[in-house]
Amino acid sequence: MDLDGLLDELEDVVERGERIWHVFGGRAMVRADEVYDLIHRVRASVPEDVRQVQDGGRERERLIEEAHQERAKIIEAAKEQARLLLDNDQLVIEAQRKRDDILERARIEAEGIQADAEQYAESIIDKLAEYLGRVQTAVDGTREMLQRDAQAARLQSSAEDTAT
């Protein structure tokens, strides 16, 4: 079940609760086992989205680290190749050109991997922001409902006090 559905169930449990009115405003007595069950189910549904964001960050870091390692390997290979070719001027010139090409390809590839990783991380963060917005909307709606209920209880209590 999705998080919105679970929050709807939680609202239903609160609405079905036995109302108790006293000096400090209305309270609802609800079954703790129902509330705890819903809380556990909400927790079970949230970590997947959060884990995706965390995994996105780890994936980005892993991609960047791989790019750095690959770049280091390419640079080391280019350096070794250049050392082997130093015996001959023509070979040295060719080695330097190849080294420069390899370094440029490595730089371009590393930039591409980093850009992809950043784009992936941004998309995960956008999804999380959307998800958190939906949760905030549900929380705000519940808060407004509770405030309306409290206001209605105060008005009813005030009306009853006036009537007596």
What is the reported pLDDT for 136? 95
What is the reported pLDDT for 51? 61
- Percent of the chain past pLDDT 90, that is, above it, reads 32
Q: Which residues contact 64 (CB under 8 A, 6 or more apart)?
A: 113, 114, 117
- Please say if the pLDDT value at position 19 is more than 60: no
What is the reported pLDDT for 26? 61
Which helix (H) or strand (E) element contains residue 27? strand 25-29
What does each C-alpha distance from 112 to 18, 70, 106, 109 come to in angstroms? 60, 13, 10, 5
Contact at 8 Å (CB) between 91 and 85?
A: yes
pTM, rounded to two decimals: 0.34
What is the reported pLDDT for 23? 47
| pLDDT confidence tier of residue 47, bands split at 50, 70 and 90 | low
Task: Annotate 83-94 with three-state secondary structure.
Answer: HHCCCCHHHHHH
More confident residue, 114 or 21: 114
Q: What is the pLDDT of residues 82-111, one digit of tens each?
A: 777 666 667 778 788 999 999 999 999 999
- Please say if the pLDDT value at position 48 is more than 70: no
Could you tell me the two tokens for 162? Answer: 């006036």
Whole-angstrom Cα distance, residue 56 to residue 60? 6
Over range 15-37, report the average pLDDT: 67
